[in-house]
């Protein structure tokens, strides 16, 4: 009837029901889950190596597709920069698009899914970054970040400006692998398990594991500059790209809000040390990180409001790592 309206409590109940139902539907597409509501990350599908018969080492043959907000893609940019492979491996930076439900090429002419399907017609899998592309055969070499950074570390040394830098040395591989295994589930993927959890129980488990591991890392870094002693390795690269996003995105948007990284005595200084390492800061775009996460993950931030803080100033503060390392 004209002039009448639903009582406020009914509006709230109806709104909550509609939003919860839509949220569950959107989250089921965004983040696959198990029966407990815990996030399940699908596996990557392409695992070729440079050095395979079909993919010999060559300059300017291989091409990276990356998204600036993606921590997995960011790993490859860091290794590319540290090794000095900018002239050997070209890059396309794709753009996150909520409307297309994935990544778009920067000129808007194609989606990344189109590129995947050009290599494999009818492909129905996940079209993720990073993706290492072979320009000669027009095929996908690899789309698993953990493997791509190993490839970039050693397979193109003859074209690298810093071939002497070995981020995965033989004598430290067991230790690097051990750190990677511990950090992946609890931290790298752990922040997503918090942010994409679809039940309170799943979130509680993920959050506890995340901060237990961060506390362990803080203790470990109290007497070593890097995770494996005084040498920078792939374990540090893999951890860095999660930590750099933590305070500006994961702390708030993903509900990882027990403690900021900058508030850890050793872990915060370690992050600043890595950020200030020559070449690494140039791979970071904090504004793109915020824009993509807050602007495109609609189920987590339906209003699309972007927080004002950048976190940039904290990263430039003195880290004092040498004074924290016992002599």
Catalytic residue ranges: 70, 192
- Six-digit token string for 78: 């860091």
- Six-digit token string for 259: 């403690």
Helix or strand or coil: residue 207?
Answer: helix
Q: Can you list the positions of beta strands (E) in the chain? A: 62-67, 90-97, 102-104, 131-134, 139-142
- Let me know how long the chain is: 327
Residue 183: CB atoms within 10 A of its CB come to 21
- Alpha carbons 241 and 190: distance in angstroms, whole number: 13
For 301-312, give the DSSP string.
-TT-PPPS---H
For 209-278, give the DSSP string.
HHHHHHHHHHHHTTS-SBTTBSS--HHHHHHHHHHHHIIIIITTTT---S--GGGSHHHHHHHHHHHTST
Residue 136: CB atoms within 10 A of its CB come to 12
- Alpha carbons 94 and 77: distance in angstroms, whole number: 13
């Amino acid at each position: 009837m004209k002039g009448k309206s639903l009582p406020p409590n009914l509006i709230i109940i109806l709104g909550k029901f509609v939003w919860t139902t839509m949220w569950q539907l959107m989250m089921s597409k965004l983040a696959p889950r198990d029966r407990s509501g815990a996030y399940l990350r699908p596996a990557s599908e392409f695992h070729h190596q440079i050095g395979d018969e079909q993919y010999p080492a060559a300059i300017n043959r291989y091409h990276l597709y990356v998204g600036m907000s993606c921590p997995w893609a960011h790993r490859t940019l860091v290794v590319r920069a540290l090794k000095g492979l900018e002239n050997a491996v070209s890059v396309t930076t794709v753009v996150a698009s909520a409307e297309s439900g994935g990544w778009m090429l920067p000129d808007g002419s194609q989606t990344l899914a189109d590129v995947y399907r050009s290599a494999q017609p009818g492909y129905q899998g996940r079209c993720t970054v990073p993706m290492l592309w072979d320009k000669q055969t027009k095929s996908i070499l690899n789309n698993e970040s953990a493997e791509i950074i190993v490839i970039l570390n050693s397979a193109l040394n003859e074209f690298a400006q810093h071939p002497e830098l070995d981020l995965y040395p033989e004598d430290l591989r067991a230790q690097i692998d051990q750190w990677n295994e511990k950090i992946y589930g609890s931290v790298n993927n752990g922040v997503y398990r918090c942010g994409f959890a679809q039940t309170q129980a799943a979130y509680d488990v993920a959050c506890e594991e995340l901060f237990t591991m961060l506390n362990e890392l803080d203790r470990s870094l109290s007497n070593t500059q890097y995770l494996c002693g005084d040498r920078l390795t792939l374990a540090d690269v893999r951890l860095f790209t999660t930590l750099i996003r933590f305070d500006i995105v994961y702390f708030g948007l993903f509900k990882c809000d027990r403690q900021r990284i900058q508030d850890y005595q050793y872990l915060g200084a370690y992050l600043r040390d890595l950020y200030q390492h020559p070449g690494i800061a140039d791979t970071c775009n904090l504004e793109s990180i915020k824009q993509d996460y807050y602007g495109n993950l609609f189920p987590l931030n339906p209003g699309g409001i972007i927080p004002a803080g950048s976190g940039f100033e904290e990263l430039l503060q003195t880290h004092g790592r040498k004074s924290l390392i016992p002599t």
